[in-house]
Structure 1
């Protein structure tokens, strides 16, 4: 059984993935953030540096490669056991598309990215049990997003100029989920309504919702 946790930056994917791993006794695969050498550069670079050093393209290639490795390992785990992924390759295209729409990736870069993604997904299709059984999608207000980003305190995420970028991501995420994600069934959890970190009852409610949804899937 493979569960992927998705949704906007800052809504608690890693925390939920950890609780799911414990609840279902599943292996967990984290998003490559703290060990990512490009991410701080991407968030803090000036527009001139972004254009000169092509950080968005480099970042998307880094994440794509990392998520490709993760989905292969997790899918093999899920063949005979259980695995949880903290953001998966299925969401990767959306971030690349946003960078392209914002003019941070060129036509050629986006074309190369999409071809790489297509080839990787074709390889994934050959892996038994490669598709997730469920995506748990975390939703929430933009105010909740910003509050969570501030509370977790990654300095490079707190640049004032990033608010517009976060808002652009947040605005389009629902459309991506509705029109582009087809790999599995989806359970949407509104993080405005549940505080799984500080409220044990909320946490247990959410975990039970996920368990019930999994049990309902044939």
Structure 2
């Protein structure tokens, strides 16, 4: 692990990334980085007509996440302050591959690599996954209007895309530990024991580097 902890939490829409990031940031006293979602002016239209609004939606997310990571690098990581984020910017490619037609994806991919080639990389990943029923239940519980028009087929494809992505991530980045959390078995929002179990896993990886301390 790098000297300064930079933890990213990933998983499908509605799985509980932000809830877990908030709880861990409080426990470890790390800065919380939350992705911009509802501020995206194209998102509602995207869920109604993916083909028509996918490029605008993905570009908005990419530019905003790039700006967030740029700020995090200079204001926190380079100042020796630990960060926990409720996303990893590489998720952009998961969504882009699923939603963009090939010609637009080619353009998007070029821009993505230009923007992210020197961005800070997390030194720990937490991957939340669950069955489609559990994901839908959590989406309904948080009640975002813009997400209610999502198709089950899109969400199921996205969940599988995440599984494939994380399997590949572990192969390509063996130096970055990945903690996998089964959302069907653990509910860290309702049950403190489940949250404690996750905290212990994170601590075990953090303690692998004696230079790491709370900030």
- Is the pair's TM-score, using the shorter chain for normalization, greater than 0.5? yes
- Equivalent pair of 2:177/2:205 in contact (CA under 8 Å): no
- CA deviations 1:24-62 (Å, max 9, x no partner) are 1111111111222111111123xxxx55xx310011101
Report the CA distance shift for 1:10/1:72 in structure 2 as closer, same or farther (over 3 A): same
- CA deviations 1:142-199 (Å, max 9, x no partner) are 111111111111122122x511100111122211111146453211111111111111
Counterparts of 1:150 and 1:6, CA distance in 2: 19
In the TM superposition, residue 73 of structure 1 has moved relative to its aligned partner by: 2.2
Counterparts of 2:103 and 2:192, CA distance in 1: 48
Question: Is 1:138–2:128 an aligned residue pair?
Answer: yes
Partner of 2:34: 30
**Between structures 1 and 2, the one with greater helix share:** 1
Partner of 1:211: 203
In the TM superposition, residue 22 of structure 1 has moved relative to its aligned partner by: 0.6
Counterparts of 1:132 and 1:88, CA distance in 2: 8
Question: Is 1:167–2:156 an aligned residue pair?
Answer: yes
In the TM superposition, residue 75 of structure 1 has moved relative to its aligned partner by: 2.9
Partner of 1:74: 72
Question: TM-score, normalised on structure 2?
Answer: 0.87
1:117 to 96, 108, 112: 112
Counterparts of 1:117 and 1:57, CA distance in 2: 13
Partner of 1:147: 137
Greater relative CO (CA pairs within 8 A, separation 6+): 2
Q: Which runs of 5+ in 2 are unaligned?
A: 211-215
Question: Is 1:198–2:202 an aligned residue pair?
Answer: no
1:107 to 102, 110, 114: 102
Matches within 5 A, 1:59-70: 59-70=57-68
In the TM superposition, residue 67 of structure 1 has moved relative to its aligned partner by: 1.3
Partner of 1:102: none
Q: Which runs of 5+ in 1 are unaligned?
A: 100-104, 125-129
In the TM superposition, residue 207 of structure 1 has moved relative to its aligned partner by: 1.5
Find runs of 4+ consecutive structure 1 residues off by over 6 angstroms: none
Counterparts of 1:42 and 1:117, CA distance in 2: 20
- Equivalent pair of 1:140/1:192 in contact (CA under 8 Å): yes
- CA deviations 1:40-97 (Å, max 9, x no partner) are 111123xxxx55xx31001110111111112222233123111111112121101100
